[in-house]
Amino acid sequence: VGPFGRSLFVQDQREPMATTNFKGSPVKLQGELPAVGSTVPNIRFVKDDLSEADLASLRGNVVVLFAMPSVDTGICALETKAFNQKIDGLGAMAVAISEDLPFAMKRFCAAEGIANVVVASDFRYHDMSEKFGVRMLEGPLAGLHARVVFVLDKEGVLRYTQLVPDITQEPDYEAVLDAVKKLL
């Protein structure tokens, strides 16, 4: 909440549809996650070099798009390192997106040797939060992304979604990789 009692971010006025947990306590998300089989909405993001890009520019690739709260949390760091290793040589792209500033993402990638994951910041446009419905509306991490993994085919059609049951857990990597391998 800001200095005048107003929310610092715009909340979707629709009833939240998706729910995850934070340490066992339910956390509502903004809106609905895109439906499997649908063409995903285009989103804009800022890369770690401050250049701008969008999801449409990645068409032609199988993409593992994973939303997370922050690379500065232990589970998000583990998740990014795991996808960096697991995607290597697979023939797909991995994109980590959070509300982190590009500087934090760049520092993390340099320190951890992340070379196979494109890091994308949603801080400027909040497209991922709003168009994919991943923003947490309550709990201690309200305003940040929930932990959700999306697998997109080469045409930008959503083929797999995994809303991780608790923010404090890593995704089921094998299920994600199985979905990716079916598209290659």
The catalytic position among 29, 40, 68, 76 is 76
Question: How many angstroms separate the CA atoms of 67 and 84, rounded?
Answer: 15
Other CB atoms within 10 Å distance of the CB of residue 44: 18
The H or E element spanning position 84 is helix 74-87
φ and ψ at 130, to 5 degrees? -85, -45
Query: Is 109 designated active site?
Result: no
Which tokens in the block code for residue 124? 């400027």
Bridge partner list, 29:
136
Catalytic residues: 76
